[in-house]
Amino acid sequence: MGKIIYVFDHKCQQCGKELFGRSDKKYCNDDCRNRANSHRRKRETWGDDKHIYEITRDLKRNRNIMKSTGAFLGETKIVTRGWLLDKGYNFDYYTNILHTKKGDYYFCYEYGHLQLEDGKLLVVMTDRYINIKNRAHGSPYDL
């Protein structure tokens, strides 16, 4: 078994804890290494535009929360505003608004919601994005 080498003034690049072991060690454990690599990949991908990453993340989260309600084409679901907030929904971010006689539907991609009375929301799904995807990538029925 190898010896533990104590290297003084050598700290973890992620959390700053003192390192023990190999002299070329950069991180104190796998969690710090994974966290540092994740941050590095985000910086390489998004650069100084971190706010774009955060907005995209919130839009995807909003979409997934609405998808989890079980609203599909031809079906709607009613949920409370508090339920969406508890799941982490951010009402500040949406991809488009549909103005109708009933009110305004706020969409995150193909899922949207309409404000009802008493803090309830009607969650719907549209096939608009499905049609766009088929036109862009071609439908299997076009063959």
State which H helix or E strand residue 97 sits in: strand 96-99
Q: Is position 34 within any domain?
A: yes
Say if 96 falls within a structural domain.
yes
pTM above 0.85, yes or no: no
C-alpha span between 112 and 106 (Å, rounded): 5
One domain for residues 33 and 82:
no
Whether residues 115 and 57 share a domain: the answer is yes
Is the model's pLDDT at 45 over the cut of 80? no
**Alpha-carbon distance values, 12 to 4, 5, 22, 35, 143 (Å):** 16, 15, 12, 12, 57
* pLDDT tens column, 86-129: 999 999 999 999 898 989 999 998 899 999 998 899 999 888 76
* Residue 96 structural domain: 50-131
Whose tokens are 């679901």? That residue is 77
Do residues 55 and 97 both lie within one domain? yes
